């Protein structure tokens, strides 16, 4: 039987960038509505089995109440409620159950966590976060229909073209601990994680990007001021804190346009590695400071092919129409 996993982050789109910038707030009611609309599209296409990540806000409840007699809806036994650990475990469970795809509601950070454990399950990432370079803005009803069409046609030749594998950035600490980023990885001279989000460009020393979309908000917008990034490539940017280099501006948070000086930049591919040592600060993954590093740590950063698989919703809709 076809099945779909659903991971909705109730905390997405609610961080400090609502105070220091003009980040939008997507209410839990709207997130619940997005889930219900997505499931209506799936149900229309005949998908009957769903696995929900539970949460204290009850984002799943309106959908459960509406479809409890029509669909087979199960709650994942995540043992945690709200937080990164729950998202990681939910993604791992969806992978183990072999779902056909997974809806992810959140921003770049939520999708990063899911990508760590989801395996080869294709993602349908819908934007409800702050920095949304990875997820897409699309009506969830359409996304549900597109996901249903993909599931209906699995095994056909054209169906394989509806899925693409994204690259990812890898950071290895002291050769034994690895983390990933889907869009941006920043080395910051701030010595503490704090509120996690980055909104001051002056704390940046180095930035690695897999995308440089001029329509994006966040650190990836900085790259778009330099060059476009070809497929299977990434970019490394080095910044100056003494007003030397090329001065550019970019919207690094919603409503927050900042100036920054780029000292140097280069495109790189899968074979190249960048090493850092004798550095004290933090590493930010997809816009949020996650790792504190000290002078004794040895850091290795590279681009890898083995990122998450993603359903091309727009291509799926067009393919069905054809």
For residues 152 and 246, state if they share a domain.
no
Q: Give the closest residue to 181 by CA, choosing from 214, 133, 137.
A: 133
The pTM (predicted TM-score) of the whole model is 0.91
Same domain, 124 and 39: yes
105-161 pLDDT, tens per residue?
998 999 999 999 999 999 999 998 666 789 998 999 999 999 999 999 987 887 889
Same domain? For 316 and 287 the reply is no
Examine the domain organization and report whether 88 and 121 are in the same domain.
Answer: yes
Cα distance between residue 128 and residue 58, in whole Å: 16
- Whether the CB-CB separation of 118 and 91 falls below 8 Å is answered with yes
* Contact in structure between 54 and 75 (CB atoms under 8 Å): yes
* 261 within 8 A of 246, measured Cβ to Cβ: yes
Distance from C-alpha of 280 to C-alpha of 292, rounded to nearest angstrom: 8
Q: Do 197 and 81 belong together in one domain?
A: no
Q: What is the pLDDT of residue 13?
A: 54
The CA angle 159-160-166, to the nearest 5 degrees, is 130
Count the Cβ atoms, other than its own, within 10 Å of residue 27: 12
SS3 label, residue 290: strand
Say yes or no: 202 and 234 in one domain: yes
Q: Are residues 187 and 144 in the same domain?
A: no
Find the domain containing 180 and state its range: 168-304
What does each C-alpha distance from 142 to 40, 41, 129, 152, 192 come to in angstroms? 10, 7, 19, 15, 41
Domain check: are 112 and 11 in the same one?
yes
Mapping DSSP to helix (H, G, I), strand (E, B) and coil, where does residue 155 land? coil
Let me know whether 30 and 122 are in one domain: yes
Q: Can you spell out the DSSP letters for 44-74?
A: HTT--EEEEPP-TT-TTHHHHHHHTTTSEEE
Judgement on whether residues 200 and 228 belong to the same structural domain of the protein:
yes
Question: CA 20 to CA 157: how far, in whole Å?
Answer: 49
Name the β-bridge partners of 140. Answer: none
157 with 179, same domain? no
**What CATH number is given to the structural domain containing 173?**
2.60.200
Note the pLDDT tens digit of each residue in 188-202: 998 878 667 787 888
Q: Do 14 and 153 fall within a single domain?
A: yes
* d(C-alpha 235, C-alpha 150), whole Å: 33
Q: In the chain, which residues have pLDDT < 70?
A: 12-25, 129-131, 194-195
Looking at residue 82, the DSSP 8-state letter turns out to be S
Residues 6+ apart with CB under 8 A from 243: 261
Q: Report the domain count for the chain.
A: 2
Q: Please state, in angstroms and rounded to a whole number, the distance separating the CA atoms of residues 316 and 306.
A: 22
Query: SS3 of 115, please?
Result: helix
Q: What is the CATH number of the domain that holds 146?
A: 3.40.50
CA distance to 106, 279, 282, 292, 298, per residue, from 295 (Å): 34, 5, 11, 10, 8
Structure tokens at 52: 């929900």
The pLDDT value given to residue 18: 42
């Amino acid at each position: 039987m076809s099945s779909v996993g659903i991971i909705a982050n109730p905390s997405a789109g609610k961080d400090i960038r609502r105070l220091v910038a003009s980040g939008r707030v997507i209410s839990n009611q709207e997130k619940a509505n997005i889930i219900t609309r997505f499931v209506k599209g799936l149900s229309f296409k005949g998908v009957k089995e769903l696995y929900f990540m539970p949460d204290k806000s009850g984002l799943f409840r309106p959908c459960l109440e509406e479809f409890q007699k029509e669909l087979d809806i199960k709650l994942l036994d995540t043992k945690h409620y709200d937080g990164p650990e729950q998202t990681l475990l939910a993604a791992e469970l969806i992978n183990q159950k072999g779902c056909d795809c997974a809806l992810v509601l959140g921003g770049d950070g939520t999708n990063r966590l899911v990508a760590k454990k989801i395996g080869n399950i294709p993602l349908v990432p819908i934007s409800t976060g702050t920095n949304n370079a990875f997820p897409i803005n699309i009506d969830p009803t359409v996304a549900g229909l597109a996901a249903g069409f993909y599931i209906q046609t699995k095994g056909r030749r054209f169906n394989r073209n509806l899925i693409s594998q994204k690259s990812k950035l890898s950071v290895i600490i002291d050769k034994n601990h690895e983390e990933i980023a889907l869009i941006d990885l920043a080395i910051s001279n701030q010595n503490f994680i704090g509120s996690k989000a980055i909104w001051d460009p002056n704390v940046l020393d180095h930035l690695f990007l897999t995308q440089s979309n001029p329509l994006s908000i966040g650190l990836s917008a900085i790259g778009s001021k330099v060059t476009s990034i070809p497929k299977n490539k990434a970019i490394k940017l080095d910044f100056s804190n003494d007003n030397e280099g090329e001065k550019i501006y970019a919207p690094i948070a919603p409503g927050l346009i900042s100036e920054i000086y780029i000292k140097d930049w280069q495109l790189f591919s899968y074979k190249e590695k960048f090493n850092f040592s004798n550095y004290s600060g933090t590493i930010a993954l997809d816009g949020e400071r996650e790792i504190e590093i000290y002078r004794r740590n040895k850091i290795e950063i590279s681009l890898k092919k083995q990122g998450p698989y993603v359903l091309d919703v727009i291509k799926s809709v067009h393919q069905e129409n054809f």
